[in-house]
């Protein structure tokens, strides 16, 4: 359970000796409460306090990582149930399942889809994060082949080994070397052997049981054997069960400090119907799954699910922003108009999208307004005539233009007079209010 700064302060020596690098014990306590300092920084703390604070510093949902290298997957660490309380911190890992009971061609095609999945959205590179290698052939040599294909073709993509046979798991993990896959396959019948395998290879283990009670009990047993990085699978496969199990598990971990369910959750969304699969995956992303596993990775679906995850996992206090700069839309000339807007990603996307659609080349001047929409930025004093004029003057644009025309958002028509005064030599034109009227406006303008 998270402790408040004051609760932590009571456990400190209260000598204000500054050895921790903070002016007072209270200041250190506040930093600890915000998880911005480590308990170890204070050398004088009693062992009892150290133990208490150490346990309290553990996040209610354990940090678990798998994979190695640049794209390692980190999960857990969530502290709230609703995103308006505090940002959700660890975006759901989106994984694709590849089974070993299909011809090589199918495996190669699925791998190619994963490798081709990268999409750039609002400055973030998004991609299928992991591959789940499903052991269904019953032939351990075949599983080994699948593993080798994946490691050869997609060496940087973290792996989830879905295997319930300890011998097959042992062989696979030996081949996987230092890649630290997630071993998803601990069930009541194999937990001792599987735990030993996970322990030996230092990999996280996925606990599978039907229902939250069963999965919690099994997780405790496996933890008792010494495997501390766990992922849980309560057998939820349909949207309603995913919603219920995930909600109850997250609540138990966060509100009741119930450690046996304080682990990342893996959700299998796979369905024959691609759209239903997408909706089940969406439920997992919105409702607390740390991994969702899909059966396939079509591009249209990747785009939709990546975008959805980005929406849910943005910081509700800090809007998504794009870089302040002059964006060229089409091939603008020294005669083309300049369109000004704010750097709120949503505003930028809508405005840029409309202009692109109508194929009239323009200079799109995107001004840093701390990610606020046009009216919000204006109301907050970030998008004023003086600031706009300064931005334009310093942008390097005036030197490139022969015809200086600035189009401003219709909602801010009242700024036009003041802007013309501050931008000598420029014509300020009031554009339409809504961006969807921009194409008609741009096409019908006197050239």
Within positions 385 to 444, which residues make up the interface with ligand B12, using CB under 6 A? 407-411, 431-432, 434-435, 438
Q: What is the phi/psi pair of residue 415, to 5°?
A: -80, -15
Q: Are 313 and 290 in contact (CB under 8 A)?
A: no
The CB-based long-range contact list for 381-387 (8 Å cut-off, 24+ gap) reads 382/342, 383/342, 383/412, 384/415, 385/415, 385/418, 385/419, 385/421, 385/422, 386/422
Contact flags string 4-23 toward ligand SF4, x per CB under 6 A: --------xx-xxxxxx-x-
Please report whether residue 236 would count as binding ligand SF4 according to CB under 6 A. Answer: no
Please report whether residue 319 would count as binding ligand B12 according to CB under 6 A. Answer: yes
Which span (188-196, 275-283, 323-331, 387-395) binds other proteins, by CB under 8 A?
275-283
Chain center to CA of 67: 16
CA dihedral angle for residue 230, residue 234, residue 237, residue 238, rounded to 10 degrees: -130
Please report whether residue 357 would count as binding other proteins according to CB under 8 A. Answer: yes
Q: What is the CA radius of gyration of the chain?
A: 27
Residues 6+ apart with CB under 8 A from 303: 119
From other proteins, ligand SF4, ligand B12, none, interface partner of 255 (C-beta below 5 to 8 A by class): other proteins
From ligand SF4, other proteins, ligand B12, none, interface partner of 18 (C-beta below 5 to 8 A by class): ligand SF4
Which span (34-42, 68-76, 283-291, 394-402) binds other proteins, by CB under 8 A?
283-291
Residues 6+ apart with CB under 8 A from 102: none
Please report whether residue 71 would count as binding ligand SF4 according to CB under 6 A. Answer: no
Please report whether residue 166 would count as binding ligand B12 according to CB under 6 A. Answer: no
Within positions 115 to 174, which residues make up the interface with other proteins, using CB under 8 A? 116, 118-119, 121
Nearest-angstrom CA–CA distance, 252 and 78 = 13
Residues composing the chain: 447
H or E element, residue 429: strand 427-430
Shortest reach from residue 24's CB to ligand SF4, in Å: 6
Q: Compare residues 276 and 386 and give the one whose CB is closer to ligand B12.
A: 386
Residues 6+ apart with CB under 8 A from 372: 319, 342, 344, 380, 382, 383
From ligand SF4, ligand B12, other proteins, none, interface partner of 256 (C-beta below 5 to 8 A by class): other proteins
List the one residue from 11, 42, 61, 212 that touches ligand SF4 (CB under 6 A): 42
Q: Compare residues 28 and 191 and give the one whose CB is closer to other proteins.
A: 191
CA torsion through residues 202, 207, 212, 213, sign: negative
Shortest reach from residue 27's CB to ligand SF4, in Å: 8
CA dihedral angle for residue 191, residue 195, residue 196, residue 198, rounded to 10 degrees: 140
Q: What is the CB neighbour count within 10 angstroms for residue 399?
A: 7
Contact flags string 311-340 toward other proteins, x per CB under 8 A: xx-x-x------------------------
Residues in contact with ligand SF4 by CB under 6 A are: 12-13, 15-20, 22, 25, 28, 42, 44
Residues forming contacts to other proteins in the complex (CB under 8 A) are: 82-84, 116, 118-119, 121, 210-213, 216-217, 220, 235-241, 243-244, 247-248, 251-252, 255-256, 258-261, 273-276, 278-280, 282-283, 286-287, 298-305, 307-308, 310-312, 314, 316, 346, 349-350, 353, 356-357, 436-437
């Amino acid at each position: 359970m998270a402790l408040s700064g004051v609760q932590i302060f009571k456990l400190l020596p209260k000598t204000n000796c500054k050895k921790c690098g903070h002016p007072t014990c209270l200041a250190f306590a506040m930093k600890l409460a915000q998880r911005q300092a480590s308990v170890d920084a204070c050398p004088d703390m009693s062992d009892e306090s150290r133990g208490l604070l150490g346990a309290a510093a553990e996040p209610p949902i354990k940090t678990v990582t798998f994979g190695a290298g640049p794209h390692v997957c980190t999960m857990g660490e969530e502290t709230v149930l609703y995103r308006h309380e505090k940002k959700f911190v660890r975006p759901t890992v989106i994984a694709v399942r590849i089974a070993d009971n299909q011809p090589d061609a199918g495996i190669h095609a699925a791998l190619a889809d994963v490798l081709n999945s990268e999409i750039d959205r609002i400055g973030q590179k998004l991609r299928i994060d992991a591959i789940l290698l499903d052991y269904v052939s019953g032939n351990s040599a075949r599983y080994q082949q699948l593993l080798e294909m994946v490691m050869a073709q997609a060496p940087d993509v973290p792996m989830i080994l879905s295997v319930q046979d300890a011998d097959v798991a042992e062989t696979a993990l030996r081949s996987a070397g230092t890649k630290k896959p997630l071993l998803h396959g601990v069930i009541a019948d194999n937990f001792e052997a599987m735990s030993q395998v996970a322990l030996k290879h230092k990999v996280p283990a996925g606990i599978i049981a039907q229902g939250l009670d069963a999965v919690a009990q099994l997780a405790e047993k496996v933890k008792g054997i010494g495997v501390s990085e766990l992922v849980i699978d309560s057998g939820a496969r349909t949207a309603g069960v995913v919603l219920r199990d995930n909600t109850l598990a997250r609540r138990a971990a966060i509100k009741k400090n119930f450690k046996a369910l304080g682990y990342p959750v893996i959700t299998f969304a796979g369905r024959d119907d691609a759209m239903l699969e997408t909706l089940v995956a969406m439920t997992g992303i919105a409702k607390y799954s740390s991994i969702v596993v899909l059966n396939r990775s079509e591009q249209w679906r990747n785009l939709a699910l990546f975008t959805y995850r980005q929406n849910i996992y943005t910081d509700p206090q800090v809007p998504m922003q794009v870089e302040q700069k002059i964006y060229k839309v089409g091939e603008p000339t020294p005669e083309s108009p300049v369109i000004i807007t704010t750097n709120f990603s949503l505003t930028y996307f809508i405005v840029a999208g409309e202009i692109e659609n109508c194929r009239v080349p323009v200079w799109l001047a995107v001004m840093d307004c701390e990610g606020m929409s046009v009216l919000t930025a204006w109301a907050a004093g970030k998008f004023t005539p003086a600031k706009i004029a300064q931005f334009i003057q310093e942008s390097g644009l005036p030197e490139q233009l022969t015809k200086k025309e600035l189009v401003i958002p219709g909602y801010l028509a009242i700024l036009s007079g003041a802007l013309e005064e501050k931008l000598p030599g420029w014509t300020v034109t009031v554009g339409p209010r809504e961006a969807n009227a921009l194409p008609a406006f741009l096409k019908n303008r006197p050239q």
